[in-house]
Amino acid sequence: MHPNSAFRPRQDDLAELLVREIGFAAIFANTPDGPRVAHAPVVLSADAITLQFHIARGNALTRHLGGASALAVVQGPDAYVSASWYSEADQVPTWNYVAIEMEGTVRKLDDDALVAQLDTLSAQHEARVGANPPWTRGKMNPALFSKMTGAIVGFEMRITAWRPTIKLSQNKPADERERVIEGVEATGHGALAQLMRHLGGDREGA
């Protein structure tokens, strides 16, 4: 989490919205072999209290996650910000980015809960891609599906802390922010430029 309060979203649901929209996280935890990370699609519960995910059974983190304290990080678009884009003197380059940290305790899911998680994931993302008809596990041989799910393990993290950083030049005057938006967009980072236009007006603490 960035220490500058200007980069905290004022909208209570913004961090949740970004987690649902991005839908992919890095899961960090300590193990007897040192810190480890896994990368996984995630499902945030409707009340934003739990985060579900699954990882390969052979992943170095899998056997250590049950009952562990973990950190999940969802990252959005990011881009370098050149100091040359500012009209003010004595500025330095920086980096604009979106990162949502969630901390909590993890529990292992049983087979039924894992399948329910997979059904939810596929339904959400099939709707996004507009597949018609959408893919469902009903299209698979049940024995093959069971074999494939046996190669992964489902988990649920109960979120005890949210630490979002939405760093979109909110600490800069409006005219300088617009110059940064134009620069970011010109260097091929259109998604970040769009976020700056739609979300960067949150200037709390600027």
pLDDT tens for each residue of the chain, 206 residues long: 677 788 887 766 889 999 999 999 999 999 999 999 999 999 999 999 999 999 999 999 999 999 999 999 999 999 999 999 999 889 999 999 999 999 999 999 999 999 999 999 999 999 999 988 999 999 999 999 999 999 999 999 999 999 999 999 999 999 999 999 999 999 999 999 999 998 755 444 33
What is the total count of domains within the chain? Answer: 1
Query: Per the omega criterion (within 30 degrees of 0), is the bond before 134 cis?
Result: no
Closest C-alpha among 101, 100, 96, 99 to residue 196? 96
Backbone φ, ψ for residue 135 (5° rounding): -70, 140
Please report, for the domain that includes residue 37, its CATH number. 2.30.110.10
| Distance (Å) of CA 122 to CA 28, 42, 115, 127, 129 | 24, 11, 11, 8, 10
Is 63 among the domain residues? yes
Is 11 among the domain residues? yes
Q: Could you tell me which residues come within 8 angstroms of residue 127 by beta carbon, excluding any fewer than 6 positions away? A: 134
Is 203 among the domain residues? no
Helix axes 142-149, 111-129, angle to 10 degrees: 110
Q: Determine the structural domain holding residue 158 and report its residue range.
A: 5-110+152-198
Question: In the prediction, which pLDDT does 200 show?
Answer: 55
Q: Could you tell me which residues come within 8 angstroms of residue 71 by beta carbon, excluding any fewer than 6 positions away? A: 27, 28, 29, 101, 102, 103
Give the Cα-Cα-Cα angle 82, 86, 87 (nearest 5 degrees).
150
Backbone φ, ψ for residue 155 (5° rounding): -140, 160
Is 45 among the domain residues? yes
Is 144 among the domain residues? no
Question: In the prediction, which pLDDT does 34 show?
Answer: 95
Report pTM: 0.90
Report yes or no: 200 and 177 within 8 Å, Cβ to Cβ.
yes
Is 160 among the domain residues? yes
Is 147 among the domain residues? no
Is 87 among the domain residues? yes
Give the Cα-Cα-Cα angle 55, 60, 61 (nearest 5 degrees).
60
